[in-house]
Amino acid sequence: MAHYIILSTLTDEGRKTLKENPERILEVNRELETMGVTVKEQYAVLGPYDFVNIVEAPDNETVMKMSVEIGSRGTVQLLSLAAMPVNELINKLK
């Protein structure tokens, strides 16, 4: 499985949804599972992004489809970054 970092920023509608139903975060995580994306770590953060998610997925296309589906709802904007564990990078550079 490939690793990805997903940086997300809630829209006004997304903040309203979160305030009214904080458990929505976990519901979305379960939806991601049905799309082939597994949330490994999830953090609420301060700054230009609201959440940092570390996920696994089989390939870039799966993450792209997830991003389009979730982003099309108008509640969040996503930035997806392919990631590689440092030990894997070191091994590939040898």
pTM of this structure: 0.91
Total number of domains constituting the chain: 1
Beta strand 38-44 with 76-83 is unpaired
pLDDT tens digits for 13-63? 999 999 999 999 999 999 999 999 999 999 999 999 999 999 999 999 999
Residue range of the domain that includes 14: 2-93
- How far apart CA 1 and CA 73 sit, in angstroms, is 26
pLDDT of residue 58: 98
Question: Residue 41 belongs to a domain with what CATH number?
Answer: 3.30.70.920
Structure-block tokens of residue 5:
């970092």
Q: What percent of the chain has pLDDT over 70?
A: 100
